[in-house]
Amino acid sequence: MKKALIVGLNNYPGSELAWCDNDAIAMKELIESNGDGSPNFEVVPIIDSCTKSNLVSAISKLFADDADIALLYFSGHGADADGGYLCTTDFSENNYGVRMTDILEIVNNSRCKNKVIILDCCFAAKMGESVMLNNNSLLGDGVTIIAASQSWQTSGENSSIQHGIFTELLIQGLKGGAADISGNITPASLYSFVDQSLGAWQQRPVFKTNISQFLPLRTIQPKVPKNILRKISTYFENPTDEFKLDPSYEDTNAPDVEHLVTEPYADVKHVDVFKELQLFESVGLVEPVGTDHMYFAAMENRSCKLTALGLHYWKLSKDRRF
């Protein structure tokens, strides 16, 4: 079971934000289904306005059971007082909203197997810090935090894209930019995508985790179907092997094609294998030896070999990890 609370608050009296509702709506639409349309998270949205008591209640319900993944996403104002706050729209000078330390206590005490917190607000990285322990992290088992900015930084919106800067990158990552070859998007890959997209002078995202294994937040169509990817350890019996090619692997090397051909002519079985090797090459798992293109590797009786990334997936295939 996967459940998510998606919060986007704009309606702060005297301190309105513009695009947090857009952030929440887009995040909801993405994570409630996978790329193939299959169900993903069961989502409860809170859009535009929310009181402190209602937000505390919703967060408590989110983390109340033993879900496989419970995800809290918040886009709105953050405050840096007293260890940090997620500001609610009934904020006052002496009561900003929900303290980050109180949220973390709920999360740390939860029986959910994986607890993910994604914050697009100012001072977001204060989540998971303790003033009493010199800002050391206090994450319980299974907790992951992805924060839009450092604990002393503000987080911005972009009117041209009508989203928060951080959330726009999350959206791109969840649509597929952060997916691995198998189509999995994990908290770590999502953070890496965002991190690489922001420059040194921009707000800097922060990643904190205390977890031994990630479950995907979303899956999309894999770049290489798993039934084909598993064959990588069949084509390469040993990781240092080269796969020997010849012209029979190239499907255009046939007498009925009007260009120079050479024996051995295209063989149907070899052509099918070569197409899969070319698919591996297109995602960086295989590279031709002695030439720049797989076509010439075949036509010139050369070979292909695993790349460093290919070695990784070769081992996963050999160990039956997917």
Report DSSP letters for 235-299, one per residue: H-SSTT-EEE--GGG-TT-STTSSS---SSPP-HHHHHHHHHHHHHHHTTSEEEESSS-HHHHHH
- Residues 39, 48: Cα–Cα separation, whole Å: 25
Q: Does one domain contain both 235 and 293?
A: yes
pLDDT at 93: 84
Percent of the chain whose pLDDT exceeds 90: 81
pLDDT for residue 133: 45
> Are residues 296 and 288 in contact, defined by beta-carbon separation less than 8 angstroms?
yes
Same domain, 184 and 258: no
Q: What is the number of domains present in the chain?
A: 2
Mean pLDDT of 172-183: 94
**Quick one: 215 and 231 in the same domain?**
no
Does 159 share its domain with 288? Answer: no
pLDDT of 35-44, one tens digit each?
999 999 999 9
What's the pLDDT tens digit per position in 300-315? 999 999 999 999 999 9
Residue that terminates a domain, selected from 201, 219, 237: 219
Note whether 79 and 43 are same-domain residues. Answer: yes
pLDDT at 206: 94
CATH code assigned at 296: 1.10.10
Residues 66-112 have pLDDT tens digits of 999 999 999 999 999 988 999 999 999 888 999 999 999 999 999 99
- From 219, 234, 253, give the residue that closes a domain: 219
Does residue 208 share a domain with residue 115?
Answer: yes
Asked whether the predicted pLDDT for residue 236 surpasses 70, the reply is: yes
**Residues 203, 97 within the same domain:** yes
Residue 101, CA distances (Å) to 16, 86, 97, 224, 295 in order: 25, 10, 12, 43, 59
pLDDT of residue 219: 96
Q: Can you tell me whether residue 44 is helix, strand or coil?
A: strand
Mean pLDDT over each residue of the chain, to the nearest integer: 92
Taking only the tens place, the pLDDT of each residue in 135-153 is: 555 788 999 999 999 999 9
Place of tokens 């240092």: 240
**Segment 203-223 mean pLDDT:** 92
Q: How many percent of the chain have pLDDT more than 70?
A: 96
Sheet containing 303-306: which strands, arranged edge to edge? 242-244, 303-306, 286-289
What DSSP string describes 94-155?
TEEEEEHHHHHHHHHT---SEEEEEEESTTGGGTTB-GGGTT-B---TTEEEEESS-TT---
Render pLDDT for 1-23 as a digit per residue (tens, 0 to 9).
Answer: 999 999 999 999 999 999 999 99
Domain of residue 252, residue span: 226-318
Query: Does the pLDDT of residue 132 top 80, yes or no?
Result: no
Residues 153, 186, single domain; the answer is yes
On whether both 177 and 258 belong to a single domain, the answer is no
Residues 23 and 113 in one domain: yes
Q: What does the pLDDT read at residue 181?
A: 93
User: 261 and 170 in one domain?
Assistant: no
199 shares a domain with 117:
yes
Please report, for the domain that includes residue 20, its CATH number. 3.40.50.1460
pLDDT recorded at residue 137: 55
- Tell me which of 185, 219, 253 is where a domain ends: 219
Describe the crossing of helices 100-108 and 52-62 by its angle, rounded to 10 degrees: 20
Whether the predicted pLDDT of 231 surpasses 90: yes
